[in-house]
Structure 1
Amino acid sequence: MLKTAKVTVHPDYKIAKVEKRLFGAFLEPIGNWVYGGIYNPKHPSADEMGFRQDILEAVREFGMPAVRLPGGNWISGWEWKNSIGPLENRKVQLDLAWFQIEPNIVGLDEYLEWTKRANTEPMFTINLGTDDLKSAAHLVEYCRHEGGTYWSELRKKYGHPEPYPIKIWYLGNEMDGHWQIGSWEKNPVGFGILTHEVSKVIKWIDCKAETVLSGVSDYSKHFPEWLMEALEQCYESVDYVSVHYYHSAPEGDIASYLNVSSVIEERLRAIFAICDYLQAKIGTPKKMYISFDEYGVMFGRQGEVTYGRRGWKDASKVFMQFRPREENVFIKHEPDKFVRRRRTSYQMLEALGVASILLTFIRNADRIKIGCMTGGLGGAIAFDGEHVWKNASYYPYYQMNRLAAEGMSILPVVDGPTFNTQQYALNDFNQCHSYEDVQAIEAAAVHHEEKGEVDVFIINRSVEDDIEVSLDVRGFEGYELVEHVEMYTDDITKGNSFESPEVIVPTLNTKTRMEDGKVIALTRKLSWNVIRLSKKSG
């Protein structure tokens, strides 16, 4: 018997405007993301600076609103002053985050020039692991001051007469984590004070700047206490709290994999509560917003589990297991040698996983104002040493970027089949309790009132069942069905590649109909769906 679900959307169920930055990406020089990826002077499409124009064209075609760069764990050991000026004078250094040789061929000016050519907003990360307040002040002066000072004139000398259009500054990266170079894990109050001072100086240099506290990445040992103590010191000077989360589920456990939004929303509730408690404690009308600037979803293998608080003991141990080292070997990535393997398997699940995270952001648009997909460059917009193509993840990412940005998020009410998940512990760092009665249909909706458009995004997370959705849109009087776009595959083990770019692509579902203010749509198991409505003319 065909299973059914009801989804209700109404123009009065307003959440907040969906910001463009919600659909940004993240760029860090890991492997061939930079050297051999965006930069390869020997590539046939390379421009005069060595940037691959095929990748630049793909980023522009996507309409990437913003990119957080240049890192990542890498940033906490990088000295920006080593990366400016003539190439022959730049210092080659060790990257202790990823055990690489950093040549500084692509340096500060090159990263920012790349964002200009990609037509995307740069959101810059400052090293607060091994660098200090003075270095941060010099960096902002170099990038943002008009001229007449040592650092601003040095920028001009190096061929960049105008200040860079940086509005967002990330103050450190994952500074609560054991694995971070120069970690502040054991001193949240100290890091909060440092963040306050750096934010203050940045805004003295550029009164329109926005700043982000490096807030939550380690949920294993000291969440939420670390955030509480750090944010209290800088609440009045920063504008956002940075949140990172990588969801790892047991191999083959699709239910736990696609339950990523439940896990994220549970953690977001705690983060919102901390922010609101501190707002009340300080007695300020200022609302704290979230920058969810690293995220992903994956399958993980069963590893060793030790026991301590909440079942965890030492997450740094797990991090080192991520790349075991028996010798002091540091990799040098040559720009014309691409070593990263292509991934063609389980792209549909990855697409649904990251889409679920983006739906979570849309449903929490009143608090989450920035999002940066970790695999946005290199995953969704896929590339190797020669080619660029679109992985399955590209399509929901692109559709939400094009259709949801700057619209009003509308809260959907879903009632239909549910599923349960099992508790698991893959290692000391990746663990999750069980969940019951999770809605198999997940949805988000956006209303562009001035355009007369409504877009409803739906994931059928059921592993076994197609579900007929009755979408109640009677509140949108005078609207009609435009189209139902779906993405589905009978074989979830397959995916797109340069040679076979259309294994998984969106198609029109012409059987979907609208009657009496309800859209009746069959959503197939493990599918992505976009239902579009528009107001009748006249």
Structure 2
Amino acid sequence: MAKKAKVSVNPNFRIGNISKRIYGAFMEPIGSIVYGNMYNPKHPTADEQGFRKDWIEALKKTDVPAVRLPGGNFVSGWDWKDSIGPKENRKEHLDLAWHQYYPNDVGHDEYLQWAEKVGLEPMYTINLGTGGINDAIYNVEYTNHEGGTYWSELRKKNGHEKPYGVKVWYLGNEMDGPWQVASWEKDPRGYGILANETSKAMKWVDGSIETAVCVSSSPDLSHFPDWDLQVLKECYNSVDYISMHHYQSAEIGNYAQFMAASRYYEDYIRTEIGLCDYVQALMHSPKVMKLSLDEYGVMPLPKKELHFGRERYVEPGTHYAFDPERKYVRHDPDNMPSRSFPPMDPMLMALGNAGVIMEMLRHADRVKIGCMTSGLGVAAGCDHDHVFTIPAYYPYADLMKYGHGISLQTAVDCEKYDLESFALDDTHKYHEQNQVDFIDSAAAYDTETGELTVFVINRDWEDSADFTLDITGLTGMRFEGHTEMFTENRTPDEEADKNLAPTEAKDTVCNEMTVKAELKPLSWNVFRFVKEV
């Protein structure tokens, strides 16, 4: 029996302006994403720099606005200066983060030039692990200064006459993580002071840039949120964003856990907003800190053995291993692994990250950047021979295409479920979530074009919803349509992917700005309205 559900939207209840950067992606040279998808000089479509044109063209057809690069844990041991100039003179290094050889065939300039070719805004992460203030100064000077100095003229000599104009700079990566090369886990105040001084110096090179400081790299760590507080007290007035990371996990096959994932992001975002506002008060500062959720994902994990008595303790073997038998690997871009399929219902993989983006929309006044960790692969899947579309692309594409303008509050009235606390291993432990709405929603209103879009997920994995959408507060609008995406085939395979795409809902009706629709179990729904001419 279908459950009753209602969402109401009123144009007067505004959250804030939506930044297009919340639809960004994250890139780090792990596996084949860089040496394979991005760069393969032997590929039939490779251009003069070795970039795969088939993947570039596929990404250009999407609305992905920005990419954070070149990492990731990788940057904390990477010297960007070793990656510029003629390739035959570049230095190859061990990448301690991912136990790989890094040849620097794709270096500083290649990352930024590839972003130019795709049409993405690059958001750059500097090394504040083994790097320092001078490295940061030289990097900004090389990247953004017009000319007349050693580093800016070296950029020209290396083939890029004009400055790259990178606007957003991340002050290191996950600097609290014990897995990080040169981690500041034990000294948040020291990192905060370093971030403060580095941000000042970088802005003295280029006063137009914005900087983002690392806070706790996961709300699962035992020092969250005190580590964040100690950092922010040292650098609040010199930075523009806090850099937040979180990967929410669910046990394979557990729908209740997976569909409640965005609730944990809501907890995380609210905690960080409260913390920033507290520090703002301490500093007597007029600055309202912005949030950058620049690594996120919802993913299935197998349940492992728990070791009781190690509450929230980060095991060395969990995040880094001292294994004498482990060998460094060299990734051959011409020998990429075959396409794989996640071990879960394909709709779960499509809806998980969409739910996180909707959470960012509901905090659009503060969250201004979002970088989906798998975002480039979601926007355009890629293996050695083909680019292809996966089901997760469609909600992402809808959000990028229609989720602009002003974010509006959505009032939800629906049935709910309770999720018990659960643990997947010693570090992935989650508190209970009470009264989880079966209906998840967000709305975007473009005042310039008069378009309203309401995004709705039916989280219920068993029952349909007898759904009402009330927008009677919006006058002069016309119902444009309702697209839905769902499947009864819950097997993760190529056949399921091919047959899973949004279609027009035929039985949805709208009468006097009240829409009646059936929301299928575990479905993605987009309701669109346009201004009457």
Q: In the aligned structure 1, how far is the partner of 2:514 from the partner of 2:352?
A: 27
Q: Which amino acid aligns with 2:97?
A: A
Could you list the per-position Cα deviations for residues 19-62 of structure 1 after superposition, in whole angstroms to 9, with x for gaps in the alignment? 01010000100000011111011111111111111111111111
Summarize the Cα distance change of 1:508–1:465 in structure 2 as closer, same or farther, 3 Å threshold. Answer: same
Aligned to 2:399: 400
Q: Distance in 2 between matches of 1:334 and 1:292?
A: 31
Partner of 2:412: 414
Residues in 1 aligned to 2:72 and 2:281: alpha-carbon distance in whole angstroms: 32
Match in the other structure for 2:333: 335
Report the Cα offset of residue 16 of structure 1: 0.5
Question: Which residue identity does 2:179 align to in structure 1?
Answer: W
- Offset of residue 217 of structure 1: 1.1
| Structure 1 SS opposite 2:266 | helix
Letter in 1 for 2:228: L
**Which residue number in structure 2 is paired with residue 484 of structure 1?**
482
| 1:347 corresponds to | 346
Shift of 1:264: 0.8
| Equivalence for 2:38 | 38
Q: 2 CA distance for matches of 1:317 and 1:364? A: 36
Equivalent residues of 2:466, 2:518 under 8 A apart: yes
* CA deviations over 1:448-492 (Å, ceiling 9, x no partner): 122111000000000111002100100011212101011101012
Could you list the per-position Cα deviations for residues 297-333 of structure 1 after superposition, in whole angstroms to 9, with x for gaps in the alignment? 1111122333557x21125432237xx9451401101
* Partner amino acid, structure 2, of 1:359: M
Measure the CA separation in 1 of the matches of 2:58 and 2:231. 39
What displacement does 1:63 show? 2.0
The answer (yes or no) to whether the contact 1:213–1:241 under 8 Å persists in 2 is yes
Partner of 2:367: 368
Residue type of the alignment partner of 2:480: V
Residue of structure 2 equivalent to 1:261: 262
Shift of 1:340: 5.4
SS where residue 442 of structure 1 aligns? strand
Q: Which residue of 2 aligns with 1:434?
A: 432
Aligned 8 A contact 2:87 2:105 in 1: yes
Amino acid across the alignment from 1:200: K
Name 2:15's counterpart in structure 1.
15
Distance 1:170 1:76 in 2: 12
* Alignment-derived partner of residue 519 in structure 1: 515
The 1-side partners of 2:451 and 2:15 are apart by: 17
Which residue is 2:504 aligned to?
Answer: 508
Which consecutive unaligned segments of at least 5 residues does structure 2 have?
A: none
Task: Calculate the aligned-residue CA RMSD, in Å.
Answer: 1.5
* C-alpha separation in 1, matches of 2:317 and 2:242: 26
2:250 match: 249
Specify the SS of the correspondent of 1:241: strand
Counterpart residue number, 1:170 = 170
SS of alignment partner, residue 335 of structure 2 = coil
Task: Decide whether the 8 Å contact of 2:358 with 2:442 is kept in 1.
Answer: yes
Q: Distance in 2 between matches of 1:496 and 1:209?
A: 44
**Aligned mate of 1:462, from 440, 445, 460:** 460
Q: State whether residues 341 and 492 of structure 2, in contact with CA within 8 Å, keep that contact through their aligned partners in structure 1.
A: no
Residue correspondence of structure 1 range 51-450 to structure 2 within 5 A: 51-219=51-219, 220-307=221-308, 311-320=311-320, 325=323, 327-339=325-337, 341-343=339-341, 346-405=345-404, 407-450=405-448
Is residue 78–residue 127 contact of structure 1 (8 Å, CA) maintained in 2?
yes
Q: Are 2:346 and 2:497, in contact at CA under 8 Å, matched by a contact in 1?
A: no
Contact map agreement 2:56 2:118 (CA 8 A) in 1:
yes
Counterpart of 1:67, as a letter, is V
Q: Are the aligned partners of 2:62 and 2:379 in contact in 1 as well (CA < 8 Å)?
A: no
Separation in 2, partners of 1:267, 1:218:
9
Q: Secondary structure at the match of 1:412?
A: strand
Q: Read off the aligned partner of 2:152 and give its amino acid letter.
A: S
Task: Label 1:492 to 1:501 Cα distance change in 2 as closer, same or farther (>3 A).
Answer: closer
The amino acid of 2:108's aligned partner reads L
Contact conserved, 1:76 with 1:182, CA < 8 A, in 2? yes
Looking at structure 2, the residues matched to 341 and 318 of structure 1 have their Cα atoms a distance apart, in angstroms, of 27
C-alpha separation in 2, matches of 1:291 and 1:343: 29
Question: Is 1:493 aligned to residue 500 of structure 2?
Answer: no
1: CA distance between counterparts of 2:450 and 2:357?
Answer: 23
The answer to whether residue 453 in structure 2 is matched with residue 452 in structure 1 is no
| Distance in 2 of aligned mates of 1:115 and 1:267 | 30
The SS at the match of 2:300 is: strand
Residue 100 of structure 2 contacts residue 330 of structure 2 at CA under 8 Å; is this kept in 1? yes
Secondary structure in 2 aligned to 1:519?
strand
Q: Secondary structure at the match of 2:166?
A: coil
CA distance in 1, matches of 2:305, 2:519: 39
One-letter amino acid matched to 1:273: G
- The superposition leaves residues 498-531 of structure 1 with CA deviations (integer Å, 9 ceiling, x where unpaired) of xx86321111102111113211111100000000
Contact kept in structure 2, 1:211 and 1:240, CA below 8 Å: yes
Asked whether the 8 Å contact 1:445–1:455 carries over to 2, the reply is yes
Change (3 A) 1:495 1:511: farther
- CA displacement, residues 138-179 of structure 1 (integer Å, 9 cap, x when unaligned): 111110111111111111111111111200000100111111
How far apart are residue 344 of structure 1 and its match?
A: 5.9
Runs of 4+ aligned structure 1 residues displaced above 6 Å come to: none
- Is the 1:19–1:370 contact (alpha carbons within 8 Å) kept by the matching residues of 2? yes
- 1:270 to partner: Cα distance: 1.1
- The secondary structure found in structure 1 opposite 2:237 is coil
1:218 and 1:298 map into 2 onto residues whose CA distance is 15
- The 3 A distance-change label for structure 1 pair 465 and 379 is same
Deviation, structure 1 residue 380? 4.1
CA contact 1:473–1:518 (8 Å) conserved in 2: yes
Partner Cα separation in structure 1 for residue 177 and residue 459 of structure 2: 32
CA shift in 2, pair 1:204/1:19, >3 Å = same
Q: Secondary structure at the match of 2:111?
A: helix
Aligned residues between the structures: 531
* Partner secondary structure for residue 124 of structure 1: strand
Contact 1:390 1:496 (8 Å CA) reproduced: no
Secondary structure in structure 2 of the residue aligned to 1:134: helix
Alpha-carbon distance in 2 for matches of 1:358, 1:428: 28
Task: Name stretches of at least 5 consecutive residues in structure 1 with no aligned partner.
Answer: none
Q: Please state how far the C-alpha of 1:379 moved relative to its aligned partner.
A: 3.5
Q: What SS is found at the alignment partner of 1:236?
A: helix
- CA-to-partner distance for each residue in 1:339-358, whole Å, 9 max, x for gaps? 25422653211111011001
Equivalent position of 1:4 in the other structure: 4
